[in-house]
Structure 1
């Protein structure tokens, strides 16, 4: 009798342990907390994060360049006109950072790095990266990531109290961690569809990723846009194999991209790479 009781107890504990492990590593409702943060609150959080980064982080000084601003507006307008059912007001800024990158922040804020503009051979490549970042915004990936990493209490505390220490922590967390495999795949799929609807060839994404991957000396593993989730080769393949609708016709942007890039060095404020 005693042995049967011990055996049943052991089976019960083993079953409990297996169930606990499953729900710990594979939560059934992983995004439930996200719905406690409204779009309005996320936008408040985004404003605090942007203010923190632009005001206190030397690598995130806003770049003011009328020629570049005009070109970027044309690219963004083309994409955003095709974004359906969005609750966000998008705010896209260029920051004076040489890294070939772009980052998505809470509340529809996107930072495009100066290095991305310099590296891109065509405006369609910038559009491809922006479409990917817009996908992260639309899917609420940023705030989901922050809640998962820092907890709902900290995020809510920042929104309601604006504690400087917490704002700094949230801002750095928003920059420091990659999205997971599912989120990257979702953003890529969204981007390819958005490019097609915007009359921009989805292959622009493949061209950008392929060149960035092949460029010597760049630590692409540190970049969100080339993170290993999913693998870069898979992303290139998906872009090249994406089937556009019958009759699709890509429309070029009506500005001189070389002049846009040259404008970065037209002023003494910016240093030419040849100097």
Structure 2
């Protein structure tokens, strides 16, 4: 039982399914052997918790755990709350808490500021000498695959607190079967997830994590159409377009930290950007052409991407709001023509039409995400 003389209530921000993306202000109770969330009526044993380092300054405590198949996360509401929580939690029972204490102990803001300033000046000099696009590509090339994987996993964890994602089942297997065929020989170890979102959309996180919305699978009429969208998004990952966008948006200091492998410095930027990215026309054209080339290389009929474009364009013609996957991809008519011309210039006689069981896929989605009655 908790000590009745001990104030074991701690103010926190809670992140989890159906909670605001900015976190829900609430409180937790630190009791004997467990953490209790009164508002959620949820009990978490200390052994289920994992402590992580958060924030730009590497001094914030994050506690993560799994509950009923979903990822949950909490952070103390303020510095006093963090001190109380750290004091009450048993270091030996909470995974990573001892490491968190060691990493945060002795952080020197002065030295870090000096180091960041020097790196920022060096990078600024590079940007002055080189063209901006060339500089961004150069910086992206300095980011290791290990760091890119960490970024992808961090963003994936953040997205899971906002909406449920699945990585198993008939629908995921169907996507994975196409994806594995398209990613043979890639340096990335791809992951495949499906979200409950109804929007016709798919996107790739850094490090080869691909998320396909349920709405896209429901609207696609063939496996080749799905393959066309996947090939396009895979090329965004392979060409590191998301990473380059992040470098452009995160600023010089955060970019230097990214090159040095400090994922926490840019995680919050990525979490808000990745699922709603707007790439440049050049990046979109690059993903189109290289995606079609990837389809031909994989012996998949590339006309699926064109038919998917045309079907959606006709369905939403004259409407103020179109599907998310097309609204974030400008110049649709011209892009259809470019892809069609490329297909004519590079005919693929041995490309095939893929088979899929859409009925089974829809049944799997309905079982995973039952509609509210």
**What CA deviation, in whole Å up to 9, does each residue of 1:16-71 have, x standing for no partner?**
xxxxxxx79x63633232233122211111111111111x213xx11366211221
Moved more, 182-191 or 246-255: 246-255
Bigger radius of gyration among the two:
2
Shift of 1:127: 0.5
Give the counterpart of 2:150 among 30, 44, 48.
44
TM-score (norm 2): 0.58
C-alpha distance in 1 between matches for 2:146 and 2:183? 19
Aligned position for 1:205: 305
C-alpha distance in 2 between matches for 1:104 and 1:255? 22
C-alpha distance in 2 between matches for 1:193 and 1:247? 10
User: Structure 1 residues 261, 187: CA separation in 2 closer, same or farther (over 3 Å shift)?
Assistant: same
What pairs with 1:62-141 in structure 2 (closer than 5 Å)? 62-63=165-166, 66-81=169-184, 84=185, 86-141=186-241
**What CA deviation, in whole Å up to 9, does each residue of 1:94-136 have, x standing for no partner?**
1111110001211111111110000101111111000001111
User: Structure 1 residues 28, 258: CA separation in 2 closer, same or farther (over 3 Å shift)?
Assistant: closer
Give the counterpart of 1:169 among 269, 272, 275.
269
C-alpha distance in 1 between matches for 2:173 and 2:329? 33
Greater strand share, structure number: 2
Q: Secondary structure at the match of 1:34?
A: helix
Task: Structure 2: state its 5+ residue gaps.
Answer: 1-127
Q: Do structure 1's residue 154 and structure 2's residue 292 form an aligned pair? A: no
Aligned position for 2:162: 57
Contact 1:92/1:111, CA 8 A, preserved across alignment:
yes
- Number of residue pairs matched? 240
Greater helix share, structure number: 1
C-alpha distance in 2 between matches for 1:161 and 1:137? 18
Contact 1:206/1:235, CA 8 A, preserved across alignment:
no
TM-score (norm 1): 0.77
User: Structure 1 residues 173, 111: CA separation in 2 closer, same or farther (over 3 Å shift)?
Assistant: same
Q: Output the aligned Cα RMSD.
A: 2.8
Aligned position for 2:139: 33
Shift of 1:176: 3.2
Contact 2:220/2:308, CA 8 A, preserved across alignment:
yes
Deviation beyond 6 Å, 4+ runs, structure 1? none
C-alpha distance in 2 between matches for 1:161 and 1:234? 38
C-alpha distance in 1 between matches for 2:133 and 2:257? 26
Contact 1:209/1:236, CA 8 A, preserved across alignment:
yes
Shift of 1:76: 1.3
C-alpha distance in 2 between matches for 1:103 and 1:28? 23
User: Structure 1 residues 247, 113: CA separation in 2 closer, same or farther (over 3 Å shift)?
Assistant: closer
C-alpha distance in 2 between matches for 1:128 and 1:207? 9
Moved more, 194-203 or 153-162: 153-162
Q: Secondary structure at the match of 2:212?
A: strand
Task: Structure 1: state its 5+ residue gaps.
Answer: 1-22
Aligned position for 1:259: 360
Shift of 1:156: 5.4
